[in-house]
């Protein structure tokens, strides 16, 4: 069995001109490392919301291991800077630039200009974004600076943010500076 067949399955999804059309689906029981890292970021987002904050989470990954975790703590700490990505970097601790350059940052929401600036400052070369429908940071600028930005449009991430924005529009607008 090859990797492809172990991760995916083909299913006849519908008929076209009387013939079955097969589509590729990820097997639900099979989680890739990227999925597990985004799941950890989602877990952080839920922790933040459970503590009365804004549900955005982030993890910093080096060589397949999470070395930092964080969630938006602006409300809990009365902080102007503790967005999820900033909190994650703070929790990872002081690291040499050579380490940051090998890291991938996972965030449930597209990083804002401040967090994107930290990515550039520390030389993080890859960001995996859960979603950018409810808010889109300067992804184009990051890409122009050589950062690989992958956007998943993860349904959980979208739902978490849409529910929060509906429940707390004033707090959300404060967080994004509106």
| C-alpha span between 151 and 128 (Å, rounded) | 6
Is-contact 127 147, C-beta < 8 A?
A: yes
| C-alpha span between 13 and 21 (Å, rounded) | 6
Active site residue 65: no
CA 31 from chain centre, in angstroms, equals: 16
Is-contact 6 72, C-beta < 8 A?
A: no
Q: Which of 43, 44, 85, 133 is catalytic?
A: 85
- List the catalytic residues: 85
């Amino acid at each position: 069995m090859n990797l492809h067949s172990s991760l995916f399955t083909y299913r006849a999804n519908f008929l076209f001109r009387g013939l079955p059309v097969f589509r590729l689906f990820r097997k639900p029981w099979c989680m890739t490392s990227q999925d597990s890292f985004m799941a950890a970021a989602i877990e952080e987002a839920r922790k933040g919301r459970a503590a009365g904050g804004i549900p955005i989470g982030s993890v910093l990954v080096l060589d397949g291991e999470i070395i930092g975790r964080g969630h938006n703590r602006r409300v809990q700490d009365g902080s102007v800077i503790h967005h999820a990505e900033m909190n994650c970097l703070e929790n990872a601790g002081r690291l040499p630039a050579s380490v940051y350059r090998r890291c991938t940052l996972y965030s449930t929401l597209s990083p804002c200009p401040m967090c994107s600036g930290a990515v550039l400052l520390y030389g993080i070369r890859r960001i995996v974004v859960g979603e950018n429908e409810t808010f889109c940071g300067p992804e184009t600028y990051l890409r122009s600076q050589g950062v690989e930005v992958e956007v998943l449009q993860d349904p959980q991430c979208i739902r978490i943010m849409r529910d929060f924005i509906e429940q707390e529009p004033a707090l959300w607008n404060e967080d994004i500076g509106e």
